[in-house]
Structure 1
Amino acid sequence: MKVKSSATSPVRPAQLVEHHVITGILDGTYPPGRLLPNERQLAEIIGVARPPLRETLHRLANEGWLTIAHGKPTQVNDYWEKGSMGVLSTLVKYIDTLPAGFVIHLMEVRSRLLPIIAGLAVAQAPDEVHTYLEAAGQIDDDVSAFVDFDWRLHLFLATQSRNPIYKLILNDLSTMFKTLAAAYFSIPAARAASRQYYRDLSTAVQAGSRRVETVVMDAMMQSISLWESIRVIRS
């Protein structure tokens, strides 16, 4: 992934630093345990001043990518072990170099989380959920329409669950979800599967939260299979 710029939005030094460090970590240039070049050397390598370099390195350290200790070289962490939710937000910018299995792991987490959210939403507000799903039949058959509706549905269910923590979790994943969803909904089979999922979910609302959880789980597992088919097509 290259850092992009334009006449109206020049690349900021912080972007250059982040790109150099994160792509270096992801491609193995800076493996876990490796020490980064000292501040002066790294600033020269990237072509930035030291203040924005220092600021960006500290932000990445807060996310768990690096360990910074006063008077010692900056060390690269195993971000799977040390990383916070901020790692997810940063990783989505580097979708072309995501670690093997990352998307599937993320989808597996979603397949456990969304059934709970949907079940709680239906238990709290079945009529509101049913009414909301009626709009699914009007979705245009294009990628952006599906990305928008699917994400808004997630947020709506999280809101109706009456547990605000779920919405905070989804908000933190919003950029990554939308980026990956654009690839997912680019294939007709995924859009067709989602249309059927929305219909099944609407029907399940009348049967209660347990049936809803089953329908959502089945749909999430099907989406994993469809994502695997996308990888085969593109490979």
Structure 2
Amino acid sequence: MIERSSEKITKQLIRSILEKEWRANDPLPPERELATHYQVGRPTIREALQRLERDGWITIRKGAPAVVNDYWKHGNLMTIVNILQHHDDIPDEFIVYMLELRITLTPAYVRDALLHHRLQIISLFIPLQELTDDPQSYADFDWKLQKSIAELSNNPIFLLILNSFQDIYGKMAEKYFLEPSHRQASKHYYEQFLEATLRGDLDQAESLTKEMMSTSLELWKTKMNGGI
């Protein structure tokens, strides 16, 4: 797929904001200046600015240059995706943020899905028997498992949230699963979760999920601190 000029300029402007060329509350150059700088027409610049406003990066003002927002306060899910797309290597602190989000999010859609589609969830663990002990395999299995469970929930918002991170989830998961101890902890969780689900003990399955989400966060923080 050929990338539109406005998409390229949007990405370049985001990078400039992330690299603090422009900070929160700074005015962007006028459209005419930006058009000259990027060697495109003003309609292309206008389209790029509209994309930036949609995702919380800037505020467009009539008759005046757009102003850079504090994207942590004005952004949305796409803002996070944009940030991570501009990093070749996912920053450690972003993995912390995502693991913290999972503590609240994952048990909710797991519980919902278990109540309505327990047998389908059990079938998702068939590939567990052939799971190889490497980061890529664990990252793939975990993504497919989480996405499928969210899809089995009666609340479509859960899946929409996960889909927003589809392009970067794999990178984050591979980095997390580089540690053998992280893979072992997840394997143990998968097995215990499956046993509880087979027994029909939904409370235990939900409790195990909450515990694992918290454990994942603590394991990652320990790794960040050099194993201390």
The TM-score bracket by the shorter chain reads 0.7 to 0.9
Aligned residue in 1 for 2:204: 211
Aligned residue in 1 for 2:82: 90
TM-score by length of 2: 0.85
Aligned residue in 2 for 1:21: 13
Q: Is the 8 A contact 1:24 1:30 kept in 2?
A: yes
- In structure 2, distance between residues paired with 1:222 and 1:162: 27
How far does residue 68 in structure 1 lie from its aligned partner after superposition? 0.8
CA, structure 1 residues 185+211, in 2 after alignment: closer, same or farther (shift >3 Å)?
Answer: same
Aligned residue in 1 for 2:220: 227
How far does residue 107 in structure 1 lie from its aligned partner after superposition? 1.7
Residues 165-187 of structure 1: CA distance to partner in whole angstroms, max 9, x if unpaired? 22122212222322211211222
For the residue of structure 2 that corresponds to 1:95, the secondary structure is: coil
- Aligned residue runs from structure 1 range 102-117, under 5 A: 102-117=94-109
- Aligned residue runs from structure 1 range 1-235, under 5 A: 13-46=5-38, 48-95=40-87, 101-205=93-197, 206-232=199-225
- In structure 2, distance between residues paired with 1:51 and 1:232: 49
How far does residue 98 in structure 1 lie from its aligned partner after superposition? 7.4
CA, structure 1 residues 25+100, in 2 after alignment: closer, same or farther (shift >3 Å)?
Answer: farther
CA, structure 1 residues 170+181, in 2 after alignment: closer, same or farther (shift >3 Å)?
Answer: same
- In structure 2, distance between residues paired with 1:100 and 1:141: 22
For the residue of structure 1 that corresponds to 2:194, the secondary structure is: helix
Q: Is the 8 A contact 2:90 2:171 kept in 1?
A: no
- In structure 2, distance between residues paired with 1:41 and 1:97: 33
Aligned residue in 2 for 1:5: none
CA, structure 1 residues 44+179, in 2 after alignment: closer, same or farther (shift >3 Å)?
Answer: farther
Stretches of structure 1 that go unaligned for 5 or more consecutive residues are 1-8
- In structure 1, distance between residues paired with 2:13 and 2:74: 16
Q: Is the 8 A contact 1:17 1:53 kept in 2?
A: yes
- In structure 2, distance between residues paired with 1:68 and 1:99: 30
Aligned residue in 2 for 1:6: none
Identity %: 31
Residues 118-161 of structure 1: CA distance to partner in whole angstroms, max 9, x if unpaired? 11222222222223223212112232222221111112111222
Stretches of structure 2 that go unaligned for 5 or more consecutive residues are none
For the residue of structure 2 that corresponds to 1:92, the secondary structure is: helix
- In structure 2, distance between residues paired with 1:136 and 1:19: 39
